[in-house]
Amino acid sequence: MSTLSYVDESADSPWSTYLAQVDRVVPYLGPLARWAETLKHCKRALIVDVPIELDDGSVAHYEGFRVQHNLSRGPGKGGVRYHPAVTLDEVMALAAWMSVKNAAVNLPYGGAKGGIRVDPKTLSIKELERLTRRYTSEIGIIIGPQQDIPAPDVNTNAQVMAWMMDTYSMNVGATATGVVTGKPIHLGGSLGRVKATGRGVFVTGREAARRINLELQGARVAVQGFGNVGSSAAELFHGAGAKIVAAQDHTGTIVNPRGLDLATLMPHVRDSGGVAGFAGAERADDESFWDVDCDILIPAALEGQITAARARRTKAKLVLEGANGPTLPAADDVLGDRGILVVPDVICNAGGVTVSYFEWVQDFSSFFWTEDEINLRLDKIMVGALRRIWDTADQHKISLRTATFAVACERILMARQERGLYP
Ligand code: NAD
């Protein structure tokens, strides 16, 4: 359990989940285990008040966070989430998972994350802009192209990143495109970034399926969360011949054993805000999503969705964690015992930050790559990272999650050791 006074002590909280994952990797860290406690602390956590004037003239206050978990390997990197359930505990865990993820794919970054406790759907576009600009100003004391580089996460997108980039640039008196990634293309954004996380889920899923002899042609896929990550991954699996048999988001659950027609579902979600009401599927009870007949399950919504009880029910052979922290540690054990392969978040959804890294490099060099170059480099990095993790898992007979932590934590703690403890 945590030694920190301000975290959620409940066993299922995101930070508790992360700590349990760290405990599992310690026996595989060799002499570096003496530094393992480093992983259980965030370097820096900033809580900010974000007051904005609403369109009706009243003033509302929102709580914002930016957490830098570990900066031993480079500047902080990680998204910004707008959600009514955001807490410091959650942002700490998300920042820590970014440290692990960035090290797992060997990007020269530490881990960071941010968020505002707000339901953005209740705000007008102008209120959202004011919220984003004030939040950026408040966290401006710790972010920067060489310090900490935010990106999109749940309920944030390229427009939010453009406002963040503009606000930071105004405050420092120079256009600083490298301060955020996931920007619009004409503001230094990268081709391929919008779908990069979903593409990474597909690439790691394709490799994992090959290893367990699961044919993608005709494979049945269930996707929870049909936003940026879930819908992009669904499109790529669909393109590879798989059938998307179920989709769930905050508006409801839809199923079609013959496969959802994505060409009509995508515009329906864009126009109506969710999957509910889609004519080409049956509406299902939300809990029944976990019983759907499928080969591949892609959680791509929020943390803690796969509980031990749901893990006992799923019919999937392969779980691809598009979301961060979707599987509770007890559920991990159930899935392992049932022989269900889990490609963990810390490698599965690393495609987004990998292309964010490409974006940052392109911004610094002011030289931009083609989408084909980006997708090829992404594929190569993801496949190489997964192979290294798989070898580690085979060597120690451990899960892919613990193997990813082993590879990543060794890199983080080696940097820690080589830099030495200041002062
Ligand atoms: P998004 O805002 O585009 O989509 C989130 C989706 O989750 C929406 O479809 C929403 O309806 C659904 N959702 C929310 N609450 C739900 C609930 N209670 N039950 C079912 N569905 C629910 O966000 P995103 O960027 O796609 O992020 C999804 C997940 O992927 C998050 O865990 C995020 O941290 C992770 N992730 C995102 C990126 C990225 O590049 N955007 C990168 C790595 C990981």
Do 212 and 339 meet the contact criterion of CB atoms below 8 Å apart? no
Proportion of the chain above pLDDT 90, given as a percent: 97
- Whether residues 255 and 297 share a domain: the answer is yes
**From the alpha carbon of 229, which atom of ligand 1 is closest?**
26
Proportion of the chain above pLDDT 70, given as a percent: 99
pLDDT band at 3 (very low <50, low <70, confident <90, very high): low
> What average pLDDT does the chain have?
97
Last residue within a domain, chosen from 348, 375, 396: 348
Amino acid identity of 335?
A: L
pLDDT band at 318 (very low <50, low <70, confident <90, very high): very high
Pocket test for ligand 1, best of 302, 310, 355, 359 (most atoms within 8 A of CB): 302
- Asked if residue 42 has pLDDT above 70, the reply is yes
The pLDDT of residue 7: 78
- Whether residues 204 and 329 share a domain: the answer is yes
Going by C-alpha positions, the residue among 382, 228, 253, 234 that lies closest to residue 305 is 253
Q: What is the mean pLDDT of residues 287-312?
A: 98
Range of the domain at 49: 42-174
Going by C-alpha positions, the residue among 83, 105, 198, 98 that lies closest to residue 148 is 98
- Whether residues 242 and 147 share a domain: the answer is no
The pLDDT of residue 10: 83
Q: What is the mean pLDDT of residues 372-400?
A: 98
pLDDT band at 279 (very low <50, low <70, confident <90, very high): very high
User: Is 317 marked active-site?
Assistant: no
Q: Whose CA is nearest to atom 18 of ligand 1?
A: 250
Q: What is the whole-number distance in angstroms between the Cα of residue 225 and the centre of ligand 1? A: 6
The pLDDT of residue 239: 97
Q: Which one of 77, 113, 183, 317 is the catalytic residue?
A: 113
To the question of pTM greater than 0.85 for the whole model, the response is yes
Do 234 and 222 meet the contact criterion of CB atoms below 8 Å apart? no
pLDDT band at 2 (very low <50, low <70, confident <90, very high): low
Residue 148: CATH number of its domain: 3.40.50.10860
Q: What is the whole-number distance in angstroms between the Cα of residue 420 and the centre of ligand 1? A: 38
- Whether residues 158 and 200 share a domain: the answer is no
Pairing of strands 243-249, 282-284: unpaired
